[in-house]
Amino acid sequence: MRKFFLSVIISFCLLNLAAQSGNKKAFTLVIHGGAGTILKSTMTPEKEKAYNQGLEAALQAGYKVLNNGGKALDAVEASIKVLEDNPLFNAGKGSVFTNDGRNEMDAAIMDGSNLKAGAVAGVTTVKNPITAARAVMEKTEHVMLTGAGADKFAKQAGCIIVNPSYFFTEPRWKALQKAKLEDSLNTIKKNGLLKQPGNHDYKYGTVGAVAVDVYGNLAAATSTGGMTNKKFGRVGDAPIIGAGTYADNNTCAVSCTGWGEYFIRLIMAKSIADRVEFAHMNLTDAANEMVMKKLPALGGDGGLIAVDKQGNVAMPFCTEGMYRGYIKSTGEKVIKIYKE
Ligand code: ASP
Interval 202-255: pLDDT, tens: 567 899 999 999 999 999 999 999 999 999 999 999 999 999 999 999 999 999
Interval 259-290: pLDDT, tens: 999 999 999 999 999 999 999 999 999 999 99
Q: Which of 98, 125, 131, 206 is catalytic?
A: 206
pLDDT at residue 328, rounded to an integer:
98
- In the residue annotation, 206 being an active-site residue is answered as yes
What pTM was estimated for this model as a whole?
A: 0.91
Range from 7-16, 85-94, 169-178, 303-312 carrying the lowest mean pLDDT? 7-16
The pLDDT confidence band at residue 36, using thresholds 50, 70 and 90, is confident
Long-range contact pairs involving 331-338 (C-beta distance under 8 Å, separation at least 24): 333/59, 335/52, 335/55, 335/56, 335/59, 337/38, 337/40, 337/43, 337/48, 337/51, 337/52, 338/38, 338/39, 338/40
Compute the distance from residue 31 Cα to the ligand 1 centre, in Å. 15
What is d(CA 109, CA 73) in angstroms, rounded to the nearest whole number? 8
pLDDT at residue 127, rounded to an integer:
98
Compute the distance from residue 260 Cα to the ligand 1 centre, in Å. 5
Q: How many CB atoms lie within 10 A of CB 306?
A: 31
Mutation pick for ligand 1 pocket among 38, 98, 237 (CB with most ligand atoms within 8 Å)? 237
Interval 83-95: pLDDT, tens: 999 999 999 999 9
Which amino acids bring their CB within 6 angstroms of ligand 1?
A: 34, 90, 204-206, 224, 226-227, 236-238, 244, 257-258, 260
Range from 11-25, 35-49, 88-102, 171-185 carrying the lowest mean pLDDT? 11-25
